[in-house]
Structure 1
Amino acid sequence: MALVEVGTFLCGEKNEPVWLPSFYIDVFPVTNNDYARFVAATGHEPPQHWYRGKCPEVILDHPVVFVTWHDASAYAAWAGKELPTAQQWEKAARGTRGDAYPWGNNATPAKCNSRESGIGSTTPVSRYHSGVSPYGVYDLCGSTWEWCSTRSEPGRYELKAGAWTSPFARATPAVFNDASTEMLDDDTGFRCAALATVMGTLFDS
């Protein structure tokens, strides 16, 4: 996980200042390999695209998809973490200066896996080295939409990142998107976060 230190950042499409306490966020989205350990440990239903309940080896290092918000939340709880808030996620992506993208302000589709890449699927979570955020966090643009813990309205939660199915314009971290908690698709995954105070307690125990 990467530490995002306490302080103010510029949030949303209007770049409004928002203060957040320190928190940690996963450097990579939760992979199929990560999720397989969760499934094995808990008996949780595996994603529908796994053959006979087992993930194909060729996508073990790809972000897990076909997970609902409830699936993502269950994994986070099992891991002793939680889903990031939309504001935590956005700060991890944009840094404190209000940059449009994790890598700065230049619109560079080649730095992420969006529709323009032409790949047509998810990619290994460590592929886009030039697209990391100021905190060293990967895939905060493209590859998969990521569930957040911020509720937009009853039964719906925010999503961030854009996806391999999305045009690059939708991959801007400040863009709003949400979905029903029951939605699951081949372009939707998640990562976990935890307040620094919580992680400190875990490290000390």
Structure 2
Amino acid sequence: MNGKDFAAKVGISSRQLVNWEGRGESIKPHPNNQAALDTLLSTSSPEAQWRFAHSLTEQAAVGQDERTEELLRRNPHAIRHPVDGKIMVLVEEGIYLSGPQDRSIWEDAYRIDVYPTTNLDYEQFVRATGHRPPQHWLGGRCPGALRDHPVVWVTWHDAAAYARWAAKALPTARRWEKAARGPNGRAYPWGGDPTAAKCNTAESGIGSTTPVARYQSGVSPYGVHDLCGNVWEWCSTPGTDGPDRYQLKGSAFSSPFGRAAPSRENAANATMQDNDTGFRCVTPA
């Protein structure tokens, strides 16, 4: 409705409404006015209530997220990326142990996303570019209950398009593995013990994705989360088992823990999309 009709519905003057809009969050409505607003919201259509909740979610996403701020305070190597706002950490240059044979490999320094790309992150990209949303988003909008879960149902091409928009890149399989194993070749991000409780694999019995910050004890030496389980992650490295295939790392909620070791390899066709496949990005240091 227009401003005049809305003001009448709440029981205020049009001038008062203009004052509210001008002063934004500094406004604290009179209790009677607040009660009227609450009543209007509770009696509005489900679609209107959904829009209201989605608006709050968007505001929270661009505001001060305490978890994010704590990461920035705690890790002097952490930065907030200027395009998609995700926190990235530095992986220093040097040798690390790669693959099942623990070969010594040199990697230049780079930055990697602390968390996989979430549904809320991906919605920024969809809204900015008009890119096709994932098939599980009803009405083409990010589901509120999944905003901090990794985005899924994305092909390699979808992941690469997001990376281009964000001025980033998909990690090579080697860079992904170094971020997970650290410079000393850990078997898993948290160490050498095969502890399934530190990640979301099939043994958890959850049967779906989980929030990207859930498994705090599974963090890698560089402070990177969710590198085992939850979702397979697309890499930029081509697969060795055929054309137009790319490597995947990390395993997923649908996979047994035995496939979660970062040294293991997997690959899929670039057009593959599934409910257990997502991605994260890197940038030069």
TM-score band, normalised by shorter chain: over 0.9
Structure 1 residue 40, shift from structure 2 partner? 0.2
Q: Which residue pairs with 1:192 in the alignment?
A: 281
Choose from 112, 116, 135 the match for 2:199.
112
- Distance in 2 between residues matched to 1:121 and 1:55, nearest whole Å: 16
Amino acid across the alignment from 1:117: S
Structure 1 residue 195, shift from structure 2 partner? 1.5
Instruction: Give the 3-state SS of the residue equivalent to 1:38 in structure 2.
Output: helix
Q: Which residue pairs with 1:55 in the alignment?
A: 142
Structure 1 residue 97, shift from structure 2 partner? 0.8
Q: Which residue pairs with 1:172 in the alignment?
A: 261
Q: Does 1:121 align with 2:208?
A: yes
Instruction: Give the 3-state SS of the residue equivalent to 2:217 in structure 1.
Output: helix
Task: Output aligned runs, 1:65-76, within 5 Å.
Answer: 65-76=152-163
- Distance in 2 between residues matched to 1:37 and 1:176, nearest whole Å: 31
Instruction: Give the 3-state SS of the residue equivalent to 1:65 in structure 2.
Output: coil
Q: Which residue pairs with 2:270 in the alignment?
A: 181
- Distance in 1 between residues matched to 2:114 and 2:130, nearest whole Å: 26
Instruction: Give the 3-state SS of the residue equivalent to 1:34 in structure 2.
Output: helix
> Which of 172-181 and 151-160 deviates more?
151-160
TM-score by length of 2: 0.68
Greater than 3 Å deviation, 4+ residue runs: none
Instruction: Give the 3-state SS of the residue equivalent to 1:72 in structure 2.
Output: helix
Amino acid across the alignment from 1:63: P
- Distance in 1 between residues matched to 2:106 and 2:143, nearest whole Å: 42
Task: Output aligned runs, 1:1-205, within 5 Å.
Answer: 1-152=88-239, 153-196=242-285
Aligned pair count reads 196
Structure 1 residue 184, shift from structure 2 partner? 0.1
Amino acid across the alignment from 1:133: S
Q: Computing the radius of gyration over CA atoms, which structure comes out larger, 1 or 2? A: 2
Instruction: Give the 3-state SS of the residue equivalent to 2:139 in structure 1.
Output: coil
RMSD across aligned positions (CA): 0.5
Amino acid across the alignment from 1:187: D
Structure 1 residue 8, shift from structure 2 partner? 0.2
- Distance in 2 between residues matched to 1:43 and 1:171, nearest whole Å: 34
**Structure 2, gaps ≥5 residues long:** 1-87
- Distance in 1 between residues matched to 2:270 and 2:276, nearest whole Å: 15
Greater share of helix:
2
Amino acid across the alignment from 1:165: S
Amino acid across the alignment from 2:206: I
Amino acid across the alignment from 2:181: R
Instruction: Give the 3-state SS of the residue equivalent to 1:52 in structure 2.
Output: helix
Higher RCO (Cα < 8 Å, 6 or more apart) = 1
**Structure 1, gaps ≥5 residues long:** 197-205
